[in-house]
Amino acid sequence: SRSAADRVDLGNVGSASGRAQAAFQAAQSQIGKPYVYGATGTASYDCSGLTSWAYAQAGVSIPRTSQAQANAGVHLSMSELKVGDLVIFYDDLHHVGLYAGNGQVLHAPRTGAVVRYESINNMPFQFGVRI
């Protein structure tokens, strides 16, 4: 919902590109949708289902899995992240979200949760990926 989005301070870091901004805005429109493993939208998503769907709305095809998305672009440190960049978590690269600004990630977290913002520090950050 818009009201939930408004309660999160995303700062003003700017987006990585026009397509990253478009992908991020698409993902924002899915806040509150349930996580379902293997789902690619629009009723529900898993983590990489959300990111691949969001980039598809921006006219950009990226791989389906978080591990493949991890190798789909240039790797970034946390300080280099801009809105719409992919953010890869865990040693085995099994989780991905979109950087939302101000230390927040927009992602489909896990079974029983919904698409939402969360602190980037709640999960073990590996690197960002610029698409």
Residues assigned a catalytic role: 47, 95, 107
SS3 65: coil
Spatial contact of 131 and 85, defined as CB atoms under 8 Å apart = yes
Alpha helices in the chain (DSSP H): 2-6, 18-28, 47-57, 66-69
